[in-house]
Chain A
């Protein structure tokens, strides 16, 4: 194994309080590791709410007709579920939690470039998320437009659009500032000898993600401001009655929201690229291709937004262009899948929980990716547009992709974060139940969509009953798996066995410092002279 970086007898970052007490040692600390955990805890809190809303939807759909709520309540539920899950959880998820915790360590730095700005982004995140959640309870009832806020309905409806839209705008700021911070960190603070091509894959994916955060988020920012302009000043940008074009709203919205999908998935791919070599005991296969495909996804992903609008009445030329570009963006994603599989090939695989998550990630990501091609092709898209198929595909990519990678990353870096091991057998049990529930929950949606069941209705025809029951039961199974995982992690963070510095035999810098790391990560900034993921 590689040489261990010298580490004096320092207190860990968890013991280093900076003279502050209680909650203040968290909310006033500019340590990137504490900020990462602040994000983790806030995201987990919202995740529980988001999951609860999801369960309510599945309970409603367990039988045709009104089961536990009516149409308006259902509309509000899927809207708030979407807004919370997308803007509060998956977009900040991996970059803000693990990016913050690991980026400086993996590139050999003591902190991010702008630590105070980093803490400030968390405050903005909290402010934005409170606004979004407040829209559930304030005045005119929860928003009911769907998370896409499509105009003109979004400025005609009497529900609480204002807090939801302002909240999403504020969250965008947080995302931008995090991206900005990471970009400067990667450009300026890499340890001596760590050239761009010696950087591990996770920082690389964060780099791609940060560019998207920086360049795409302002577009949704201005779009949401325009919606506010519509609601408050009645300007008419997207109001057909005043000459505005609602399809332009869709363009502007998806110019952000499609790249946002890559904000969600790129760091997930990065985490998977960390886990697989470690548990296969092999250097990652085709490092250069993984890096190039990361940048290619980030770049091409910016120009494919129109594939969300195939049935909106765009011109044929635009339809054609967007469909071609969509197929092109599938290529680098496939390259990554091949590289992961090739990394495992002939490796000596260690079947630990993080690897289970990574392997199941590849499985569900493959389903998500292939159904994505069904949607990206013009002819088939028209058939399944706005059906449960889209919902299924989306959850396979975003929940199956980002979610699975997130849980994998939590388990993989858990010993580093808390200096304790989680309980392996409970973690595996949780994973298995979760995975089975997951497939039962989203698999039927693909089938139902092909059969023609539309999305976003609280009711359906009786012939769709069977698969819906399976889906709802799957949701309950999945949630019980989730609870096992959550309880195991919380318990282990306090009572788990003490972890070594490098419990998995990983090769990157984070495994060469103590668990948990000291306040400044390294006593001396290391000098890097070898390629990443090198097993001797």
Chain B
């Protein structure tokens, strides 16, 4: 019976259920976004122009590539190519770090213009701008937090693969880590057009 030895499908199911909770967590924010965008369409439109589309696009592509690399590392470990798998996990973590660096500069630029939650400048701009940037910082911030968690998770996966705790016939954990990483990507796929592309 499945209790005696490990249950890969059960473990994957656990990961998926956890992903659902994350989707619902962001779901609450998407509801908020939908409501305030409906109430302040013009302001959201104008505020969105403040965001840097090229950086956003580059970051989107970075995340997409990182998603592909982690998926390939799962393929690699199944083909018993340990080195390649390790390299791909490392690549994913590095891409994640690049994403965060970009994000840092992006946020920094906004702060320099006096745009941050609770700032006096922002309060003068009006309701729509306060809410747009409130949501922007809150949602991208929470997303960035998930990136950091994802990096830690993948860091563990790297060590496990290195120590042969995860091998070609026991890789479910790596797949789960990958699922988490794809979730982070998935959320960004929606954040990007909702914040950057409503000009």
Contacts and interface: CB of A to CB of B under 8 A. Distances in A.
Q: Do chains A and B touch in the complex (CB under 8 A)?
A: yes
Interface string B131-164: 1001101100010000000000000000000000
A243 B128 CA distance: 7
B24 A215 contact: yes
Interface size class of A (residues with CB under 8 A): 35 or more
A404 B32 CA distance: 38
Contacts of A114: 14
Interface stretch (A1-9, A132-140, A182-190, A354-362): A182-190
B21 A217 contact: yes
B1 to A, nearest CB: 6
A238 to B, nearest CB: 9
Interface in B2-60: 2-3, 7, 9-10, 13-14, 17-18, 20-22, 24-29, 31-32, 35-36, 39-40
A235 B134 contact: yes
Nearest to A222: B28
Contact of B17 (A111, A184, A233, A252): A184
Given A218-B21, A234-B117, A242-B123, A113 B14 contact: yes
A219 interface: yes
Contacts of A218: 21-22, 24-25, 27-28
A189 B3 contact: yes
Nearest to A242: B130
A46 to B, nearest CB: 25
A109 B14 CA distance: 17
B33 to A, nearest CB: 11
Nearest to A217: B21
A189 B3 CA distance: 7
B31 A252 contact: yes
Given A111-B3, A214-B20, A251 B31 contact: yes
B7 A229 contact: no
Q: Chain A's interface: helix, strand, loop or mixed, by majority?
A: helix
B42 to A, nearest CB: 13
A445 B20 CA distance: 40
Interface size class of B (residues with CB under 8 A): 35 or more
Contacts of A184: 10, 13-14, 17
Contact of B131 (A113, A176, A179, A243): A243
Contacts of A214: 17, 20-21
B126 A180 contact: no
B135 to A, nearest CB: 8
Contacts of A474: none
A335 B170 CA distance: 47
Interface string A89-125: 0000000000000000000011101100100000000
B2 A252 contact: no
Nearest to B132: A243
B25 A226 contact: no
A223 interface: yes
Contacts of A223: 28
The residue among B1, B22, B27 with the most chain A CB atoms within 10 A of its own CB is B1
A245 B28 contact: no
A312 B180 CA distance: 39
A248 B32 CA distance: 7
A188 B13 contact: yes
A226 B32 contact: yes
A144 B181 CA distance: 40
30 contacts: A111-B3, A180-B17, A183-B13, A183-B17, A184-B14, A187-B10, A188-B2, A189-B3, A216-B24, A217-B21, A218-B24, A219-B25, A222-B28, A222-B29, A226-B32, A226-B138, A233-B118, A235-B118, A236-B117, A236-B118, A237-B138, A242-B130, A242-B131, A243-B36, A243-B130, A243-B131, A245-B39, A248-B35, A251-B31, A255-B28
Interface of A: 109-111, 113-114, 117, 176, 179-181, 183-184, 187-189, 192, 214-219, 221-223, 225-226, 229, 233-237, 242-245, 248, 251-252, 255, 525
Given A109-B3, A111-B3, A216-B24, 16 more contacts: A181-B14, A183-B13, A184-B14, A214-B17, A219-B27, A219-B28, A221-B28, A226-B32, A233-B117, A234-B118, A235-B134, A235-B138, A237-B134, A237-B135, A243-B130, A245-B36
